[in-house]
Amino acid sequence: MFIGHFAVGMGAKVLQPKLSLGTLFMAAQFLDLLWPSLLMLNIEHVTISPGITEIAPLDFDSYPISHSLGMVFLWAILFSFIYYFKSFDRKSAIVLGVCVLSHWLLDLIVHRPDLPISPINELKVGFGLWHSLYGTIIIETMLFVVGIWIYYNSSRKNNTIVSWGFWALIGLMYLIYLINIFGPVPDSAEDIAIGAQFQWLFVIWAYWIDRRKWSLAIAKEYLVRKRAI
Ligand SMILES: [Zn+2]
């Protein structure tokens, strides 16, 4: 799953509009942001295996640190705690932790049974939606549209304009999604790891899109606190 995770980031905006889209993207996609670095460090492994599913030609041999349910709980808690100790904002911290967890649940729907339950035992799960090309594209596109729709409405409710930068990002993400599915099979695991690192650009881009909203939210909170004193 790719755009579905970013859809969760956009959708979570309605739960806590003051959270930057960049932070929400980082949480919802955290496991796949971590994974390429672990591949590069030779800690986790993937094999290119054309035809293994209709969508991704990848055999995820081993990714217990980034994608086992046990570790995902830990990452979610860690992400929440770091945000909480930075902001003392409990609600935002909880929303971000749930976003981190959501990644594994969405992966569970699409992956073959290759997602480990715990980092130390062999039990692996996955419902395998990736075996259906159209099923995956339809469901993931629907998720993406719902995410965009929620983000758009929550921005309008908060009197902020949805910028051209947002629509450009949406267009680029969808294009990359289609290239991933219909484009050539990558040459090596190293190429996959390098390509996946570029997802950080989406996070940075999302921070840039939301920068005004972010500063407005902080200013508003500051005024409320000041009035309370
Ligand atoms: Zn993943």
Q: What is the pLDDT of residues 161-185, one digit of tens each?
A: 778 999 999 999 999 999 999 999 9
Tell if the pTM clears 0.85, that is, is over it.
yes
Q: How far is ligand 1, taken at its centre, from the CA of residue 173, in Å?
A: 16
Q: How far is ligand 1, taken at its centre, from the CA of residue 63, in Å?
A: 10
* Mean pLDDT, rounded, of the chain: 92
Q: How far is ligand 1, taken at its centre, from the CA of residue 226, in Å?
A: 42
Q: How far is ligand 1, taken at its centre, from the CA of residue 28, in Å?
A: 10
- Predicted confidence at residue 206, as pLDDT, reads 95
- Predicted confidence at residue 212, as pLDDT, reads 66
- Predicted confidence at residue 224, as pLDDT, reads 75
Q: How far is ligand 1, taken at its centre, from the CA of residue 100, in Å?
A: 10
* Closest alpha carbon to 75 in 111, 112, 35: 35
Q: What is the mean pLDDT of residues 207-227?
A: 72
Q: What is the mean pLDDT of residues 79-91?
A: 96
CB of 166 within 8 A of CB of 209? yes
- Predicted confidence at residue 115, as pLDDT, reads 96
Q: How far is ligand 1, taken at its centre, from the CA of residue 201, in Å?
A: 17
Q: For the CA atoms of the chain, what is the radius of gyration?
A: 18
Residue corresponding to tokens 């929620």: 150
Question: Which has the minimum average pLDDT: 14-23, 81-90, 146-155, 220-229?
Answer: 220-229
Q: How far is ligand 1, taken at its centre, from the CA of residue 111, in Å?
A: 9
- Kindly report the backbone phi and psi dihedral angles of residue 15, in degrees, each rounded to the nearest multiple of 5, phi listed first: -75, -35
Confidence class for position 1, pLDDT limits 50, 70, 90:
confident
CB of 117 within 8 A of CB of 70? yes
Q: How far is ligand 1, taken at its centre, from the CA of residue 81, in Å?
A: 22
- Predicted confidence at residue 144, as pLDDT, reads 98
- Predicted confidence at residue 179, as pLDDT, reads 95
Q: How far is ligand 1, taken at its centre, from the CA of residue 218, in Å?
A: 32
Q: How far is ligand 1, taken at its centre, from the CA of residue 115, in Å?
A: 9
Q: How far is ligand 1, taken at its centre, from the CA of residue 107, in Å?
A: 6
Residue corresponding to tokens 């979610």: 76
pLDDT at 79 over 80: yes
Percent of the chain surpassing pLDDT 70:
94
* Closest alpha carbon to 38 in 78, 80, 71: 71
pLDDT at 219 over 80: no
DSSP assigned state of 160 = -
Q: What is the mean pLDDT of residues 129-136?
A: 95
Token output for 58: 């990848």
pLDDT at 214 over 60: no
Q: How far is ligand 1, taken at its centre, from the CA of residue 141, in Å?
A: 17
